[in-house]
Structure 1
Amino acid sequence: MPHAISPEPTTEPSDAVLPDAPASDAPSDPADMSGDDTAAPVLGAAESDKENRLEDMFDTDSDDDEFSSSAAKAEPSTTKPAQSGKFSDPGIMKAFYQRLFPYRQLFQWLNHSPVPTIDFKHREFAFTLSNDAYIRYESFASADLLRKQCIELLPSRFEIGPVYSTNPRERKTLRKKSAFRPLAKELVFDIDMTDYDEIRTCCTGAQICPKCWSFITMAVKVVDVALRDDFGFKHILWVYSGRRGAHAWVCDRRAREMDDQKRRSVAGYLELLKGGDGRGKKVNIKRPLHPHLQRSLKILRAHFQTDILAEQNPWEEDEKAAHLLDLLPDKALTAALRKKWDSAPHRASTSKWADIDALAATGVADKLDATQLKEAKQDILLEYTYPRLDAEVSKKLNHLLKSPFCVHPGTGRVCVPIDVAKVEDFDPFEVPTVTQLLDQIDEWDKEHVKAEEGEAENDEAGGAGKEQEKEKKLQDWEKTNLRPYVEYFRSFVNELLKDEKTAKREREEGGDPMEF
């Protein structure tokens, strides 16, 4: 089914009106990648023509009908090309960026105010183009200008970086390079399923299934409660990566203003597993257990029984079972277990886990007391369930991370927020793809066209009251399965803005002694 890709921006009565930036706010040189070794390949020569056209996109006389209702069509819409099987097809991406991406909510999230501030205007954006070229140090004075850039470039994704001391586009005009420095950015965390390859048995690499997605569920639950209970953070946005993982954005002002040392400390607090991909012991913790680990064990114990032992069955094969034996501290016990398992090939992991206690109870492990065995089993449970974070993502203020609501080019799924209160119910396979969303808009429009024609006839007879009702049109994302995710995001942003306003008032009235 063809998808309309004419400009279909929308208005939102509940959101503030965002003024456009001056037309002279032209993009900076996208080829400049200096000063950050986290960047992807620089914009290539093949994109030089597109780069030259960037200056034109800020023409204030543009006929692009910014943020008007999608229901009112002055001209027939054009349609995208036939489905090519590639989700980053230019026609598909143009329709997505014109009709579905929630720019206003994203603006308010990063701006921390309904009216533009340097929190947004000095924020770095980086764009990955369809040919894998990479444009850095882009910045925008408004949501409208960000929208125009996305429609012009049709990036396969874009990333969000820190707020800088000056507009990133103007960094080359500074006399001293040290004057251009990152000031603030959300504290972020990245959980990627590939880090679980050595312990998951169902999939590898980029593949995921409902069985191994439980690793992400476990990680979200453990990290979220630690950030809230142990650090006092409140505004934590979890976002599905679009394929095999999840990102956390800690948006509290105190988190945003952390320097690299504090970020490393928080990341180190949550980091537990050490030792790479070898067969050695990866959990070596002191006793008595830290309260964070005690709480984590309580969260993870039920998951270990169901998601690990029953679903993953990690020790069914002899090689994997040998690793389990390496984690037990008593040689006599491991010898007895090996003998038992050799006599019963492919014994289920649930049974092998029970065998440890059963054989220990016979006295075969005369040098291993009950406390030592309990601690060894706790360490094993944590190795197979505790979050495996990409800690480097969290440690640097200037690290870039993919924006929420981007489209994953491989799966076509939108990077939607995850309601942490319902994380157990989140199913990555139910997340809509961009083509499904565009089909849903077409279907909705087709179903309502006759109703709108009938309303038009009634308007002629009903006068001004009917005309006022006609103005209340749905935005395109409200016609699709993206709606609950955007509404959740909007609710999250509203709570953040409410606290930002309160904190600002307290600072103006004399400061908050608890701020640091």
Structure 2
Amino acid sequence: MVQQPPNSTQSPDLSEVSPLHMDQFYRRFFPFPMYYKWLNYSSQGVSKNIKNREFSFTIQNDIYIRYQSFNSEEDLKRDVIQKCPNKIDIGAVYNIAPKLAKTVHAGVMKPLEKELVFDIDMTDYDEIRTCCSGGDICKKCWGWMSVAMKILDVTLKEDFGFKNNLFVYSGRRGVHCWVCDERARLLDNSARKAIVGYLTLIKGGAQQIRKVILGDGKGHPHVQRSLKIANKYFKSIVLESQDILKYPSGWNKILELLPNPEFGKHFDKLWTKENNKLGITSIKEEKKLSENSSDGEIEKMDVDSSDNSYSKNSRKSISVERWEQLEKYLKDKNSKKSKESKWSSNTVLSEIILQFTYPRLDENVSTHLNHLLKSPFCIHPKTGKVCVPIAAHEFDKFDPMRVPTVQQLLNEVDSYDASISLEKKIVSDSANSQKEHKDSSVIGEGKEEIMQTEQVMSSNSAQDSIPDVEKTSLKKYIRSFETFVNRIPELDAKLQDKLSF
């Protein structure tokens, strides 16, 4: 049996995302009122933004239903509960209601607007992450999502004036960003492509070794700002958590980016000799040792990223020390290079840092108006986790391993109700005991205690009317979503300037 990386996301039992659980989720937890308000984008009644918006449902047996649209919140809620989709996707706002698609000639129905969306998937980092691969994630590699959200958010705000950026956990291994400003929603495909081109620094597929080439653009404000953010994360993510320079499989990915092959040969020889001296084996061997160790040891390895076989008492990981060696070496070579040599140590180091930290965007998701994207507050079918929003102040704190599943939410409601029932019983027993008390010397005090008991019972009665979602860990994400939605109209009204591409 293949073991999961420590603290990685794992697929739940099928029962956790059964139709019954999905039905309970939509009836008891899905935030229909605020969800509808978000997509309506109007406080003046039902708008075309919601009436002409396309939804698609994936229902049991992977049946995919497109061109769903709704005239009211009640229609939306009723249909979702009735069809109980495993997944909801959101598409564009069309010139006619999508549910009429089959009644008009081909080409009549056209997309008019949609949020500018971005998709950042952890699998695009597989070539540089050492802890996980494929659909698995852990605390060590999630840091890439933190820096991606931070760079994307600040760039959208400062370079484009887009303030309403909703980041949503995809439920498994990535993040979606919905840019909800009216100006962003009205962008055509060419403008969206221009924005994605502006944001793309990492270029080329698997065969492209050097993916970041700054050239004359190294002084661009966007590059400098992104580099400033990336520098704050490079050490903790790439050098400490991933320990990229500990093994040849990792250090070769950095050494091949150096301007002179001889530089790479120098460090490959140096670090190989050092590993042999320190008894550092291959990454595969150390992973086997980790899998055979106790759960407690694995947890410690995951939390303390500086702990490695190189030196458990050292303040720095071996990768941090080797990076400092590399920096010093390049700067020394740079000062002694001939005038004909066009490379700069600062540029080389900057390109490496950006290649290993800058967001990796899926261009196709962002550039087409009619592209559908998984809705916030969906349930991921393979993890059972809710696709929750991530507030900007939570970028560094967000832990995908702590995102609730449907089963967890139901358990939290049961636990909450059980605690209230126990409290009621205690209060009721106390009240009965007080009524039976016949000691005349404490009648006055007894009346006071009875009044206090009645107040507690009244409070408990109010507890009965609390919505189920308020009894769960999902409530903080709902409140974060409410805060985001409620500020959209105000910001749209203030942003009068128009951008052209």
Coarse TM-score class (shorter-chain normalised): 0.7 to 0.9
Q: What's the CA shift string for 1:390-409, capped at 9, x where partnerless?
A: 11100011110111011111
* Residue correspondence of structure 1 range 205-224 to structure 2 within 5 A: 205-224=134-153
Q: Larger deviation: 122-131 or 224-233?
A: 122-131
Counterparts of 2:463 and 2:13 in 1: how far apart (Å)? Answer: 36
Partner of 1:324 in structure 2? 254
The alignment partner of 1:86 has SS state of helix
Pair member with larger Rg: 2
Q: What's the CA shift string for 1:108-147, capped at 9, x where partnerless?
A: 0000124211110111000111311100000111122222
| 8 A Cα contact 2:183 2:498, kept in partner | no
The alignment partner of 2:219 has SS state of coil
Partner of 1:227 in structure 2? 156
Counterparts of 2:274 and 2:330 in 1: how far apart (Å)? Answer: 19
Q: What code does the residue aligned with 1:444 have?
A: Y
| 8 A Cα contact 1:264 1:394, kept in partner | yes
The alignment partner of 1:179 has SS state of coil
The alignment partner of 2:205 has SS state of coil
Partner of 1:444 in structure 2? 416
1:487 aligns with 2:494: no
Partner of 2:442 in structure 1? none
The alignment partner of 2:123 has SS state of helix
Q: Larger deviation: 205-214 or 356-365?
A: 356-365
Q: Larger deviation: 304-313 or 189-198?
A: 304-313
Partner of 1:178 in structure 2? 107
Q: What code does the residue aligned with 1:486 have?
A: I
Partner of 1:70 in structure 2? none
| 8 A Cα contact 1:109 1:493, kept in partner | yes
Counterparts of 1:89 and 1:496 in 2: how far apart (Å)? Answer: 35
Counterparts of 1:283 and 1:238 in 2: how far apart (Å)? Answer: 25
Q: What code does the residue aligned with 1:439 have?
A: N
Q: CA deviation at 1:354?
A: 2.0
Q: CA deviation at 1:285?
A: 1.7
Query: Which blocks of at least 5 consecutive residues in structure 2 are unaligned?
Result: 1-11, 281-309, 311-317, 432-449
Q: CA deviation at 1:153?
A: 1.6
Partner of 1:7 in structure 2? none
The alignment partner of 2:344 has SS state of helix
Higher relative contact order (CA 8 A, sep 6+): 2
| 8 A Cα contact 2:214 2:347, kept in partner | no
Q: CA deviation at 1:275?
A: 1.9
| 8 A Cα contact 1:87 1:410, kept in partner | no
Q: What code does the residue aligned with 2:222 have?
A: H
Q: What code does the residue aligned with 1:382 have?
A: L
Q: CA deviation at 1:172?
A: 2.4
Q: CA deviation at 1:451?
A: 6.4
Which structure shows the higher helix fraction?
Answer: 2
Counterparts of 1:515 and 1:213 in 2: how far apart (Å)? Answer: 33
Q: TM-score, normalised by structure 1?
A: 0.75
Counterparts of 1:337 and 1:513 in 2: how far apart (Å)? Answer: 52
Counterparts of 1:372 and 1:384 in 2: how far apart (Å)? Answer: 19
Match of 1:392 among 337, 343, 364: 364
- Give percent identity, aligned residues only: 41
Match of 1:374 among 342, 346, 352: 346
Q: What's the CA shift string for 1:81-103, capped at 9, x where partnerless?
A: xx964332111111101110001
Q: CA deviation at 1:315?
A: 2.9
Partner of 1:67 in structure 2? none
Q: What code does the residue aligned with 1:356 have?
A: L
Partner of 1:359 in structure 2? 329
Partner of 2:57 in structure 1? 127
Q: CA deviation at 1:311?
A: 1.2
Counterparts of 2:205 and 2:251 in 1: how far apart (Å)? Answer: 19
Counterparts of 1:268 and 1:282 in 2: how far apart (Å)? Answer: 14
Query: Which blocks of at least 5 consecutive residues in structure 1 are unaligned?
Result: 1-82, 507-511
Partner of 2:295 in structure 1? none
Match of 1:236 among 148, 165, 175: 165
| 8 A Cα contact 1:86 1:409, kept in partner | no
Counterparts of 2:222 and 2:41 in 1: how far apart (Å)? Answer: 31
Q: What's the CA shift string for 1:366-399, capped at 9, x where partnerless?
A: 4487971111111111110000111110001111
1:283 aligns with 2:183: no
Q: TM-score, normalised by structure 2?
A: 0.78
The alignment partner of 2:132 has SS state of coil
How many residue pairs are counted as aligned between the two chains? 419
Counterparts of 2:497 and 2:152 in 1: how far apart (Å)? Answer: 27
Partner of 1:270 in structure 2? 199
1:474 aligns with 2:446: no
The alignment partner of 1:108 has SS state of helix
Counterparts of 1:302 and 1:515 in 2: how far apart (Å)? Answer: 31
Q: What code does the residue aligned with 1:353 have?
A: W
Counterparts of 2:483 and 2:37 in 1: how far apart (Å)? Answer: 11
| 8 A Cα contact 2:259 2:343, kept in partner | no
